[in-house]
Amino acid sequence: MEENEKVSFEKIIMAGVGAITKTAETAGDLLDELVKKGAISVEQGKALNEELKHDIKKGVDTAVQKVQSTAVSRFVDNMDRFSPEDLAMIRAKLDELDKASSENAASDNAESE
């Protein structure tokens, strides 16, 4: 994969996460301002804040899944452009992850017995 494509791919992911974070910060700031101005009671603010945190976390999780799904799709679609060295590195990483997953599964089975 060309260095420009790697940088662009990283920028896309970081921009998505940054946008989500900025939205969460802005929403939190708005809620804080409403509480300060007395537009809502402190207790209502706490309840809304907890609900907002839950909704934001859910939204972030959904957005991250979409970004990851898109990233994986683009990655797979462009695999024919990878050099043999890139493909060897990918194979090695997949083997490493597979081994770790197998070890974790074996460890989980041993603990449950």
Predicted TM-score of the model (pTM)? 0.43
The contacts of residue 5 (CB under 8 Å, 6+ apart) are 78, 81
What Cα–Cα distance (Å) separates residue 4 from each residue in 9, 10, 13, 33?
8, 10, 14, 42
Same domain, 51 and 87: no
Range of the domain at 73: 3-81
pLDDT at 36: 77
Does 93 share its domain with 41? no
Q: How far apart are CA 90 and CA 70, in angstroms?
A: 18
- pLDDT given for residue 52 in this prediction: 86
Distance, CA of 91 to CA of 84 (rounded, Å): 10
Same domain, 14 and 64: yes
* Domain total in the chain: 2
pLDDT of residue 113: 62
Positions in the chain short of pLDDT 50 = none
Span 22-46, pLDDT tens digits: 887 888 888 788 777 776 677 777 8
Is residue 18 a contact partner of residue 99, using CB atoms and an 8 Å limit?
Answer: no
> Are 63 and 94 in the same domain?
no
